[in-house]
Structure 1
Amino acid sequence: MRGGVGIALFVLGFGEGAVDVSKNDQAVRVERDWNKPIMSSLHAFFSVGAVVGAGVGAMMQSFDLHLFWSLGFGAVVVLGVMGASIRYLLPPSGPGEIEAVVSAAEDVPVRDVRRRIVALAALAFFLMLAEGVAHDWSALHAVQDIDASEAAGSLAFGAFALAMTIDRLFADRVSHRIGPVRVVRYGSAIAAGGMLIVITSTMYPVTLAGWLVFGLGLSGTVPQLFTAAGNLGAKNQGQVMARVVSAGYVGLLAGPAVIGWISHHTGLSTAFFLPFVLCLAGTLLARNAAPLAPRPYSRVDPVPRVSIRA
């Protein structure tokens, strides 16, 4: 039985990873055609889906329904939405789109492009690792280190998730106005400040405020990285997206485990210095979020378009 569950979870994870790369690839192309930033708004609906899914799951648990019905209902909904959405997906990139994104500026060194991919992957790893810490440790920290009740502790993650969802609905406007580099730089700095509040706080309301600030800072950063990765070159856009998105999800999964290991030796509040430092690193690497292939709506200084030769 356990082996079957393990196989099922492996297949689920494999499929979810493939879908996540594909939908971000589609989002980059839709955003390009839309002619203005919309990536953060799309990620906001991801957050809304997580909240709704958690609510539906909690409701089904309250009715004491068997897990089969809960998971089965989710599977039916996913299949239905997928079937209704297929006809709206964009077809594979054609010569016209490739020519529009990949210009004649072929003299840009390939090694510079590859360095940009590595930097974006590192940024995604750092910032999504920090996000994973909030997902798995915020509630326990409030209970264990601030002596909050378990019910009150759950609000710590709620504050973070609420900030992430709401701010992503407005982050596109900010990106359009000040550019993706500043969104990542200032967002990472704000997130670092929020984490510092959490680390040093001894009062529950202040801790909640810290998680709220942390979520506000992180909310708009990762969508900018995915947009930048998707606009590095159209010929192998999917491959580039896969590298950056995968690096981010490695961080999302590794973060809670690393924090758990550190906290075993130092305590949970001290372990939170890791996401604090990674957010500070995000401010230093933020310049890599500038698109090499500038979007028509971008108000930042243009940079040459390039193609990627693997």
Structure 2
Amino acid sequence: MIDVDLSRRQLVRWRTAIFTIFFVTGLGFASWASRLPAVKVDLDINDAEIGILLFVAGAASIVGLSLANVMVVRWGARRGMFLTILAFSLGVIVVGVGVQFLGSFLVASIGLALMGMGMSATDVMMNVEAAAVEQASGRTLMPLFHAFFSIGTVVGAGIGIAMAALQVGVAWHLWIVGTLVLVAGLLALRAVPVREATGDEVAASAPRRERLLRALAVWRDPRTYAIGAIMLGMAFAEGSANDWLTIAMVDGHGQTEAMGAIALTIFSVAMTVFRILGGPLVDRIGRVWTLRILAVTAAAGLILFILAPSLPFALVGVALWGAGASLGFPLGMSAAADDPAKAAASVSAAATIGYLAFLCGPPVLGWISHQIGILPTLWIIVGLIIVSGLASGAAKPIAGSTVGTGHPHD
């Protein structure tokens, strides 16, 4: 339930606004990532220094996740997103200036810190709003919201490829994208309703100190950690593919780099398609059973990929892996936000666990694969996916929530 009465038209505008914020966030992130080769050349840095830039962005993301909770308490989700979208878009622009015009590693790092903090804090708040749209709509929409983020990354990567092919400078590219993110994001916020549950109203129901203490209390709730286990396993499953699938195809299965790129494309398409189709599936069989079935699918696909005797089997495994990993993160967010009164705090906590997997997983897997090889290392991901499936019961909707319960007989 939500604490405002909305007309059908207002609800549609609210939903469209959050779709837009998911999309432009993915667009901005992929635009930066797609220009990494140009960043390396313009700054005249090596792979280790690129790693430092990525670490700065990742560390700032963790800071942003921690601040999101405080920002919601202090300013509310709606005004909080105004600040975080502003920080994210300005970060994108500063990176462009630092890379191309100033050639400054420090300025680029500052821009990436702004990007990381702005993006992760926006991520928490947009998921809180997406969960509220779900509750108001009475049907599962979170996978579709995350599909819009995925679509944004695809569009951003495509634009990045075109900009690189046309030899457009990093600064001009990121200035355009940063401005687009800022304008579209702030215009979208105009359609987000003011809600007391997220502290948007000046006369909130409790003092800020009391709300902050209540927000921190979610870390004492066992359900937070169980939902975190769901997201941890699936975040590892998704992140390991993004970072290591191409290498696993080349070093593990002896394929070309082009085939590695094709495999990653298959994974991304499978994940996006299932995020688009996931909502109706959840509404049919329920959140818990969906997560269990997809955990089995992801584990089976990854096992098939590891043991594949030939290329066709490996590609089928990749498709199953992507489909199975598609809904763990969004449905974990949806479950964390079941209670509107503590949705921001719960989403922030769950997202922190998920982001730690995204950020810490790749280097850990890299170190292990250096010792035992990339394909044997992927068995660790299989184990984490199984843990995620076993923890799926924690995603059962709480009393009073109609989203994610399933209606098999309708």
Give me the TM-score of the superposition, normalised by structure 1.
Answer: 0.88
1:211 Cα deviation after fit: 1.1
**Could you list the per-position Cα deviations for residues 4-40 of structure 1 after superposition, in whole angstroms to 9, with x for gaps in the alignment?**
2222212211110000001000000011001111111
Is 1:183 the counterpart of 2:284 in the alignment?
A: no
What residue in structure 2 maps to residue 92 of structure 1?
195
Residues 68-147 of structure 1 correspond to what in structure 2 (within 5 A)? Answer: 68-94=171-197, 114-147=221-254
Bigger shift: 119-128 or 187-196?
119-128
* Partner SS state of residue 341, structure 2: coil
1:111 Cα deviation after fit: 9.5
Q: Distance in 2 between matches of 1:94 and 1:262?
A: 44
What residue in structure 1 maps to residue 52 of structure 2?
none
Cα gap change, 1:300/1:82 in structure 2, threshold over 3 Å: closer, same or farther? closer
Instruction: Identify which of 14, 19, 43 aligns with 2:146.
Output: 43
Q: Distance in 1 between matches of 2:399 and 2:163?
A: 47
1:298 Cα deviation after fit: 5.0
Q: Distance in 1 between matches of 2:120 and 2:162?
A: 27
Instruction: Identify which of 343, 368, 375 aligns with 1:237.
Output: 343
* Partner amino acid, structure 1, of 2:370: H
Cα gap change, 1:290/1:113 in structure 2, threshold over 3 Å: closer, same or farther? farther
What residue in structure 2 maps to residue 279 of structure 1?
385
Cα gap change, 1:299/1:127 in structure 2, threshold over 3 Å: closer, same or farther? closer
Q: Kindly, what percent of the aligned residue pairs are identical?
A: 29
1:156 Cα deviation after fit: 1.1
What residue in structure 2 maps to residue 219 of structure 1?
326
Instruction: Identify which of 362, 373, 376 aligns with 1:267.
Output: 373
What residue in structure 2 maps to residue 59 of structure 1?
162
1:290 Cα deviation after fit: 0.3
Bigger shift: 40-49 or 118-127?
118-127
What residue in structure 1 maps to residue 357 of structure 2?
251
* Partner SS state of residue 88, structure 1: coil
Is 1:162 the counterpart of 2:269 in the alignment?
A: yes
Gaps of 5+ in 2: 1-103, 199-203, 206-216
Give me the TM-score of the superposition, normalised by structure 2.
Answer: 0.67
Count of aligned pairs: 288
Q: Distance in 2 between matches of 1:130 and 1:93?
A: 36
Cα gap change, 1:216/1:294 in structure 2, threshold over 3 Å: closer, same or farther? farther
Q: Distance in 2 between matches of 1:151 and 1:289?
A: 39
* Partner amino acid, structure 2, of 1:243: A
**RMSD between aligned residues:** 2.1
**Could you list the per-position Cα deviations for residues 59-112 of structure 1 after superposition, in whole angstroms to 9, with x for gaps in the alignment?**
1000011111121121021012112201111323359xx99xxxxxxxxxx999
* Partner amino acid, structure 2, of 1:222: F
Bigger shift: 288-297 or 158-167?
288-297
Q: Distance in 1 between matches of 2:126 and 2:171?
A: 28
Bigger shift: 199-208 or 275-284?
199-208
**Could you list the per-position Cα deviations for residues 257-285 of structure 1 after superposition, in whole angstroms to 9, with x for gaps in the alignment?**
11101100000001101111101111110
8 Å CA contact retained: 1:130, 1:255 = no
Is 1:15 the counterpart of 2:15 in the alignment?
A: no
* Partner amino acid, structure 1, of 2:378: F
Cα gap change, 1:260/1:243 in structure 2, threshold over 3 Å: closer, same or farther? same
Q: Distance in 2 between matches of 1:112 and 1:263?
A: 33
* Partner SS state of residue 90, structure 1: coil
8 Å CA contact retained: 1:124, 1:248 = yes
Q: Distance in 2 between matches of 1:228 and 1:113?
A: 17
* Partner amino acid, structure 2, of 1:179: G
What residue in structure 2 maps to residue 106 of structure 1?
none
Is 1:5 the counterpart of 2:108 in the alignment?
A: yes
* Partner SS state of residue 205, structure 1: helix
8 Å CA contact retained: 1:155, 1:208 = no
8 Å CA contact retained: 1:181, 1:287 = yes
What residue in structure 1 maps to residue 315 of structure 2?
208
**Could you list the per-position Cα deviations for residues 169-205 of structure 1 after superposition, in whole angstroms to 9, with x for gaps in the alignment?**
1111110011000111111111001110111124222
What residue in structure 1 maps to residue 212 of structure 2?
none
8 Å CA contact retained: 1:117, 1:244 = yes
Gaps of 5+ in 1: 100-109, 302-310
